[in-house]
């Protein structure tokens, strides 16, 4: 996979746009409200309170996003969710305006130049690796970073400080070699012969609860209604890293080392 120059230059345009405002100036909140009302209300609600189709934009998770991360979510969407990528339909300036309006819904004055300027990496390797992580490699379906992503796998914030380069690469190449505590896999065999694998979540005398492989459901199985429940030595994480080309592997590693 080649570096996506379109995304890189989109970020460059965002930074250029931000550099044209003063430290006390922000993107167009009024225009952002019009765009938000036209495109975002149906999923996120008129005040960002959330709807069945979209998460709240005023909760702690959304508030913790840096300006650059908020802009990236609007631009590129979120893998594994209903959040669409708007970079093909809206200009960089329009995305800035929407992001600035969302900040006002959160009780903030708008976008912060310093925050947005420092949150975007200018390293092509890192940018390409982040796109892989959130895109074709599918990592974000299971792993969280900066309050984004799934919960089937461990959160990756601080992974670079916890694992040396060789250990990180080994964890990607052979996910089953070491399984992080709390992320064990259970296998439930049902009377009809089908099996269900998932992350072990809870256990009681009568039932066991596992999180589905795609992370979207927590499923409860009553022990007297299944054939067997067993532990698995295999991680739920697929060995996707081994299928990537050498250049893609380096891009993904470069991104993970920034976390």
| Geometric angle at alpha carbon 236, from 231 and 240, rounded to 5° | 150
DSSP 6-33: HHHHHHHHHHHHHHTS-TT--S-HHHHH
Tens digit of pLDDT at every position of the chain (259 positions): 344 444 544 555 455 444 444 333 444 567 888 999 999 999 999 999 998 888 899 888 888 888 888 888 998 888 777 888 998 888 888 888 899 889 888 887 777 644 444 445 668 888 888 888 988 888 988 888 877 788 888 889 888 888 888 889 889 999 998 888 889 999 999 999 999 999 998 889 999 999 888 777 888 999 999 999 999 999 999 889 999 999 999 999 999 998 8
Structure tokens at 213: 């492989």
The closest alpha carbon to 197, from 180, 221, 165, belongs to: 221
CATH architecture of the domain 185-232 equals Roll (2.30)
Which sequence spans correspond to the domains of the chain?
Answer: 5-120, 185-232
- Whether 5-120 shares its CATH topology with 185-232 is answered no
pLDDT for 138 equals 87
- HEC string of 37-102? HHHCHHHHCCCCCCECCECCCCCHHHHHCCHHHHHHHHHHCCCCCCCCCCCCCCCHHHHHHHHHHH
Quote the distance between the C-alpha of residue 199 and its chain's center. Answer: 19
pLDDT for 192 equals 94
Whole-model pTM?
A: 0.53
Q: Which tens digits make up the pLDDT trace of 113-136?
A: 444 444 456 688 888 888 889 888
Beta bridge partners of 195: 189
Phi (first) and psi of residue 195, to 5 degrees: -120, 150
Q: Exposure of 230 by Cβ count < 10 A (0-12 exposed, 13-18 middle, 19+ buried)?
A: exposed
Superfamily of domain 5-120, CATH level 4: Cytochrome c-like domain (1.10.760.10)
- Cα distances from 138 to residues 78, 133, 238, 241, in angstroms, run 11, 6, 10, 10
Distance in angstroms (rounded) separating the CA atoms of residues 152 and 205: 24
State whether residue 230 is helix, strand or coil.
strand
- Cα distances from 253 to residues 140, 155, 169, 240, in angstroms, run 14, 16, 8, 13
């Amino acid at each position: 996979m080649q570096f996506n120059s379109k995304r890189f230059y989109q970020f460059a345009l965002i930074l250029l746009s931000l550099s044209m405002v003063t430290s006390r100036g922000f993107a167009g909140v009024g225009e952002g409200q019009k765009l938000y009302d036209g495109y975002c209300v149906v999923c996120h609600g008129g005040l960002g309170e959330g709807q069945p189709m979209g998460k709240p934009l005023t909760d702690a998770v959304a508030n913790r996003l840096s300006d650059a991360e908020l802009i990236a979510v609007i631009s590129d969407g979120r893998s594994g969710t209903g959040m669409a990528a708007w970079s093909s339909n809206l200009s960089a300036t329009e995305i800035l305006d929407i992001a600035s309006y969302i900040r006002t819904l959160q009780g903030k004055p708008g976008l912060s130049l310093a925050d947005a300027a420092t949150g975007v990496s200018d390293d092509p390797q890192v940018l390409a690796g982040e796109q892989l992580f959130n895109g074709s490699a599918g990592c974000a379906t299971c792993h969280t970073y900066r309050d984004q992503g799934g919960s089937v796998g461990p959160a990756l914030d601080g992974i670079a400080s916890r694992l040396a380069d060789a250990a990180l690469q080994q964890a990607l190449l052979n996910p089953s070699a070491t399984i992080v505590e709390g992320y064990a896999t259970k296998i439930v065999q049902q009377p009809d012969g089908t099996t269900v694998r998932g992350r072990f979540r809870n256990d009681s005398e009568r039932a066991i609860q596992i999180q589905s492989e795609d992370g979207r459901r927590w499923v409860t199985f009553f022990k007297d209604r299944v054939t067997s429940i067993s532990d698995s030595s295999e991680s739920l994480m697929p060995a996707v890293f081994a299928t990537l080309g050498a250049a893609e592997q380096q891009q993904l590693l470069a991104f993970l080392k920034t976390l």
